[in-house]
Amino acid sequence: MPTPRDIDRHDTDILILGTGGAGLFGALHALQSAPEGTRVTIAVKGLIGKCGCTRMVQGGYNVALGGGDTVERHFMDTIQGGKWLPDQDMAWRLCEKAVERIHELENELGCFFDRNPDGTLHQKAFAGQTADRTVHKADLTGIEIINRLMEQVLARPVEKLQDHRAVGLIPTRDGAALAGVLMIDMRTGRFRLVRAKTVLMATGGGPTMYKYHTPSGDKTMDGLAMALRAGLPLRDMEMVQFHPTGLLAGDHTRMTGTVLEEGLRGAGGQLINHAGQRFMFDYDGKGERATRDVVSRGIYAEMRKNNNPQQEGVFISMAHLGPDWVAQKFAGMVKRCADCGFDLAGGKVEVVPTAHYFMGGVVVDVDTRTALEGLYVAGEDAGGAHGSNRLGGNGVANSTVFGGIAGDVMGADIRAMGALREPDPDALEAELARACHPLTRTPGLVQPLRKQLQEVMWDEVGVMRTAAGLRRGLAGIAEVSDALMEVGVASESLAFNLTWHDWLNLRSLCDISEVIARAALARDNSRGAHYREDFPETGAMEDSWFTVARQSGGAVTVDRAPVQFTIVRPGETILPEDAPETLVAAQ
Ligand SMILES: Cc1cc2nc3c(=O)[nH]c(=O)nc-3n(C[C@H](O)[C@H](O)[C@H](O)COP(=O)(O)OP(=O)(O)OC[C@H]3O[C@@H](n4cnc5c(N)ncnc54)[C@H](O)[C@@H]3O)c2cc1C
């Protein structure tokens, strides 16, 4: 069993956890803003450029680039889409800086995005938006972005700790600041403590505790679980976004749950139930172009009506748009469906809502600073920008915008920071013991417990919720959590011991699942992604509040904090009086 004396040490100035859009932008900007000679280290659970969800971005990147669209319009769509819960200063920052970031992606990093015949960037329609503002590279936008980012980072003097999993934030003895991060070098199984003056947490959330989910397998809420244990406040934790159209291809394939992008519905794709009827207009006047939360609930309701385990989902149909056009416009999607035996261009494909994105996260300010000195959070780990609902296309904009800001701010902040801080030995020992816990128990099976958690979360803490269901959910989560503590992992070799990492993944998922369920129980109204069948009303927009969860003495508490309408009040707009309601022809 490893002891604190067995921990390898590594010192740096700026440490970045995660290499998605937020982490890689953080690294590049930190190098630009920090004094010369500053050591920048990136640590990632997988391989640089090969893990996380930024690589998986299909549809594209929201940015207002003229043609009638403005930052103000993007902002209003973001606030209204988030049902007045977003932190307005963060949302403004997101929309404003996205313009700068897209030019940086094109002109400094060398991304190629699709263009119009006149040479301007092509922007497509995404649901819930009043302008065609989604910049893209066909439907494989993330690969373009992450490959160019990766090339730039690999070419620069950044220390790289790949296959390094962060397991605990280690504060100073007085708890006032962060001293470093405890990690496992997954290649050897040895522990490593990395001390740093500033740490960017960009581990990308990832609601993979649901039966159907889209994020990459390396994402298991580790960052939020670490932040929770460190006593940091987490906001909007009930807000899990379900993407309406996850592929349903059977239990035998991990393609089940993967997303069929929003652009399909934006382009005119239709949703058909098992009776062969188009149903979305029964739920919303915008039909398939309603926001994700609304469409997910429509599909879920149809699934319940059908109640046939052999035919669980509904169908997306594109054929009326012309199979050749669909095959050209959505080449990636068509191929993915074909790989699973479905004809997206000419037939119909069975789909189901799938857990996609996590709006909740660590409470940060607009500069990505947190309540713990030295810790910064950006990307999907940070809460606030989206409120109760993220617009399609705002996710990768969020991670690249705030990742870059974090890099700028950390580089500037370390100028005023003195020596590296000393970690609290007790906190270090506690995190070490926690990570080693399964090595002290008789080996057992982790996967059945993960499956059990996924079923509980889907059934009781999913698309539609009730108090009774959430209480059942909490009991189910506790059952999995307790059982996990008794399941051991063989410890003869810790090098690439994937069962150990599965155990640690499930530990993080259980901890955050409990917070999601408690926050969902605390929100006795329905906003955006959070829908309570027993409280279907939204509550007064003027009195909007968000949940703030904390862990103290092992117990999770959830409080309310009022939304500050710093830019616009509910019912008002910052658009000019004569501005059209929408610029999208089909809406
Ligand atoms: C299939 C799919 C399609 C999407 N399409 C779109 C789209 O079209 N438009 C859009 O705006 N958004 C889209 N999104 C959302 C978007 O991908 C995310 O919002 C965004 O990329 C998150 O960026 P990030 O940097 O926060 O996290 P990620 O890019 O997910 O990166 C997280 C990083 O943290 C690492 N990590 C995790 N845990 C640890 C740990 N314990 N220690 C060390 N490293 C760790 C991971 O390995 C990874 O490198 C999509 C998401 C999915 C899953």
Q: What per-residue confidence (pLDDT) applies to 527?
A: 96
Total Cβ atoms within 10 A of residue 540: 10
Active site residues: 243, 265
Structure tokens at 226: 């670490």
pTM here is: 0.96
Say how many C-beta atoms besides its own lie within 10 A of residue 107's C-beta: 9
Q: Map out the domains of the chain as residue ranges.
A: 243-355, 438-535
Give the Å distance between the CA of 310 and the centre of ligand 1: 32
The predicted-structure confidence for 294-307, as pLDDT tens digits, reads as follows: 999 999 999 999 87
Token reading at 356: 């996609």
State the Cα–Cα distance between residues 81 and 70, nearest whole angstrom: 16
Dist. CA 486 → ligand 1 center (Å): 31
Instruction: Give the chain's residues under pLDDT 70.
Output: 586-587
Phi, psi angles (nearest 5°) of residue 99 = -65, -50
Atom of ligand 1 nearest to the CA of 165: 42
Amino acid 586: pLDDT? 60
CATH architecture of 438-535: Up-down Bundle (1.20)
Question: What are the contacts of 148-154 at 24+ separation with CB within 8 A?
Answer: 148/105, 148/109, 148/110, 148/111, 149/21, 149/24, 149/25, 149/28, 149/49, 149/109, 150/19, 150/24, 150/48, 150/49, 152/24, 152/28, 152/109, 153/19, 153/24, 153/27, 153/28, 153/42, 153/48, 154/48
Query: Are the folds of 243-355 and 438-535 the same?
Result: no
* Strand 40-43 with 14-17, pairing: parallel
Q: Which atom of ligand 1 lies nearest, measured to the CA of 398? A: 19
Spatial CB neighbours of 458, under 8 Å, sequence gap ≥ 6: 210, 211, 212
Three-class HEC string of 307-336: CCCCCCCEEEECHHHCHHHHHHHCHHHHHH
Q: Which ranges of 104-210 does DSSP label H, i.e. alpha helix?
A: 141-154
Q: Which residues surround ligand 1 with Cβ inside 6 Å?
A: 17-23, 43-46, 51-54, 56-60, 165-166, 202-204, 214-215, 218-219, 222, 259, 357, 379-380, 392-397, 399
Ligand 1 centroid to Cα of residue 139, in Å, is 16
CATH architecture under which domain 243-355 falls: Alpha-Beta Complex (3.90)
Q: List, for residues 399-420, the tens digit of each pLDDT value.
A: 999 999 999 999 999 999 999 9
